[in-house]
Amino acid sequence: MNTQAETQAPVFDIVKQVFSVLLVVAGIAAFYYFAEVSVLYRVIGLLVVALVVLGLMFTTNLGRNTWSFFLESKQEVRKVVWPTREETSRTTLLVFAMVFTVGLILWVLDMVLFWGVQHLTGQGG
């Protein structure tokens, strides 16, 4: 009996997902069909449809796995050691200095190569 329930669960999940997509499409179609109704009411209707769809999707295996992933991600973000303001400022200034230095080196290299090509082709003064 347990095996039969496991084989039927993905079918119900697929039905829920298809129904969710149909609800979203119907909500968007209704939004444009009732164009004469105030935009506020149409947006509230879309939000209600979106909440129903989210609630329905969270009852599927995919929804539960997605929610679990977000919860685990939140825990991992808490474990990150964020740099201090001073470290961030120092690193940013170092990046700016390196970009300027590399840009200056490439500009000088371009000028030297341009000068060399001009003299090799006889166009230089």
- Residue 124 gets the label, from left (phi > 0), alpha (psi -120 to 50) or beta, of beta
Question: pLDDT at residue 1 above 80?
Answer: no
What is the spatial distance between Cα 113 and Cα 62, in angstroms, rounded to a whole number?
Answer: 59
Query: Tell me, what's the pLDDT at 2?
Result: 52
Query: pLDDT tens across 30-59, in order?
Result: 999 999 999 999 999 999 999 999 999 888
Query: pLDDT tens across 94-114, in order?
Result: 999 999 999 999 999 999 999
Which residue bears the tokens 């929610």?
A: 67
Query: Tell me, what's the pLDDT at 33?
Result: 93
pTM of this prediction exceeds 0.85: no
Query: pLDDT tens across 27-38, in order?
Result: 999 999 999 999
SS3 (DSSP) at 50: helix
